[in-house]
Structure 1
Amino acid sequence: MSSRITEKPRQPGHGPELPMVMSVTSGKGGVGKTNISVNLAYCLSRMGRKVVLLDADLGLANVDILLGLAPKTNLFHLFHEGVELRQILLETPFGFSILPASSGISDMLALSTGQKLDLLEAMDYLEGKINYLIVDTGAGINDNVIYFNLAARERLLVLTTEPTSLTDAYALVKVMHLNHDVHRFRVVVNMAQSAKAAKAVFEKLYAACDHFLSGISLDFTGYVPTDPAVKNAVIRQKPFCHLTPDAPAAKKLMDLAQVIDSWEVDAKLDGNIKFFWKKLLFQEQPLA
């Protein structure tokens, strides 16, 4: 169990023919999960990768707000008005694209099987065009959160040093592991006072999982320190890695992006984007 972030050379296999689908998730709201997603997308795009960020908090979307954007269409229009995915896909001024969702619409809080099928067919448009699909899930353990996490190849679990964040992160890991046979999670500690504090909270989560859950793999991927530059960027509605690339939080986010870019894609798994949606669509218990 190591907390050291190493910068490895980028491994082959992350090209358009074999994209990485990664969820960024949390057991609790308010841990900065969406901010992590937005800035990871920015950092990976700065590294020359083609990135799409999917706002999968379907009823309480805020990726567009953090970026100061006002999309004319979102996933609600795909489901209810037959709008094509290419019309929803929005290129940002920061080098990556987003698939925005809606906010305050209860119909989006749980996807039906038919809606998942619509997504499966729509995602053909992205085939061969991107290196990363980052899925910013909602917080908690509701159906949408579980299903998007099941569909992703890698799961980046975001927590803070607050006790409630730790408890809720453990609850998400427990549900995913016991109910859905998910064994591996990557962990990032956000808003940490120090590297020591980040490592300490990770070790608490590790100890709880090791004691109560068998067969769990938790990897400490990194941490992001408390930094006033983050709040300032939120107010200005821009990625903090864009506004203040030399700030401590921005430097750690770039470290995190480099680590993620070194992850190998399992060649034994179907690597195309439809793999993500097929897993989402054909779960044993439909949402409808």
Structure 2
Amino acid sequence: MSLDHLLQTNPRTTPAAVGSFHPVRVIAVTGGKGGVGKTNLSVNLASALAAMGKRTLLMDADLGLANVDVLLGLSPRFTLADLVAGRCQLDEVIVEGPDGLLVVPASSGFRHMAELSPAEHIGLVNVFSELQRALDVMIVDTAAGITDSVLTFCQAAQDTLVVVCDEPASITDAYALIKVLSRERGVDRVHVVANMVRDPNEGRRLYEKLARVCERFLGDVALHYLGAVPQDDWLRRAVQRQQPVVKAYPGSPSARAINEISRIAARWQPPTGARGNVEFFVERLISARSMAI
């Protein structure tokens, strides 16, 4: 399988058209292990940003076991598997969710999607440069672990958000992920969200536990605590309704916590230029850098 067809210039895309859009802040949401609630956080973070008026795109980057579309109750015609196979363009994959949220769905149960090569992961990142949409932020819901897809999508984002919960394996695996991102991909700043906590103090303790280990063994990595999302039965009910909890139950504890995290992320400024490695929307970044000179 090859992504060569994705890397060819789309006849509908011109440098002038790409340059007319400002840079997009890309946030990769990930976790060292599965089961920490990163997809729920991704969906609700994107939904909250869209409700604030941010032009938001949510990419399901768990290529082999995707479920963003399920959590939002969407029925996409195409997925990233169709894009990789050359059956559609990226713009045709995008479906619209609540409050104008744009969603790039992936496929579930397609083993070949989980086994794409490193070059093909970079091809998926690069194809976003031809997207003709005005955007403010993109949330990338990665798979769990330290696979190449996770590392590449985190490297290609401006911000990496690691989700942890109160399990020893969650902290251990989060540290392993941060270590690999730092040493192999040059990611030196990581945001942390503690999920499914019993109280705010537990969230802070989880962060401090991870921060101590990183400070001891990874002195060049800066960790930032974004907050904690409580264990909340309303979140489970929202999942059953296939709706974000921030929409279905906006007064619930989990919705209030996620909205606060979203308000912090909404204040992050768009990037001012390309960093010189693999990045989403790189043409827009290059354009921004050239205009600033």
Compute the TM-score of the two structures, normalised by the length of structure 2. Answer: 0.84
Please, which moves more after superposition, 23-32 or 264-273?
Answer: 264-273
1:178 pairs with one of 176, 183, 195: 183
Task: Write the distance in 2 (CA, Å) between the matches of 1:114 and 1:141.
Answer: 17
Change (3 A) 1:181 1:248: same
Residues 1-288 of structure 1 mapped to structure 2, 5 A cutoff: 17-112=22-117, 113-114=119-120, 116-117=122-123, 120-121=126-127, 123-127=129-133, 129-269=134-274, 273-275=280-282
Task: Write the distance in 1 (CA, Å) between the matches of 2:275 and 2:209.
Answer: 35
Gaps of at least 5 residues in structure 2 are 1-19, 286-293
Contact 2:47–2:246 (8 Å) recurs in 1: yes
Task: Write the distance in 1 (CA, Å) between the matches of 2:61 and 2:91.
Answer: 17
Gaps of at least 5 residues in structure 1 are 1-14, 279-288
Please, which moves more after superposition, 193-202 or 102-111?
Answer: 102-111
Contact 2:55–2:136 (8 Å) recurs in 1: yes
* Equivalent position amino acid for 2:72 in 1: L
Contact 2:24–2:281 (8 Å) recurs in 1: no
Q: How many residues are aligned here? A: 263
Task: Write the distance in 2 (CA, Å) between the matches of 1:161 and 1:118.
Answer: 33
What do the CA deviations read for 1:44-85 (whole angstroms, capped 9, x no partner)? 011101111000000000001111122121011111133011
Please, which moves more after superposition, 171-180 or 59-68?
Answer: 171-180
RMSD, matched Cα: 2.2
RCO higher in 1 or 2 (8 Å CA, sep ≥ 6)? Answer: 1
Q: Which residue pairs with 1:9 in the alignment?
A: none
Task: Write the distance in 2 (CA, Å) between the matches of 1:235 and 1:88.
Answer: 25
* Equivalent position amino acid for 2:66 in 1: A
Please, which moves more after superposition, 262-271 or 235-244?
Answer: 262-271
What do the CA deviations read for 1:97-123 (whole angstroms, capped 9, x no partner)? 100001111111133325643652454
Task: Write the distance in 2 (CA, Å) between the matches of 1:49 and 1:270.
Answer: 24
Per-residue deviation, 1:16: 5.2
* Equivalent position amino acid for 2:22 in 1: E
Say which SS state the counterpart of residue 81 (structure 1) adopts: coil
Compute the TM-score of the two structures, normalised by the length of structure 1. Answer: 0.86
Contact 1:151–1:276 (8 Å) recurs in 2: no
Per-residue deviation, 1:263: 1.7
Task: Write the distance in 2 (CA, Å) between the matches of 1:37 and 1:27.
Answer: 15
Say which SS state the counterpart of residue 100 (structure 2) adopts: coil
Contact 2:56–2:135 (8 Å) recurs in 1: yes
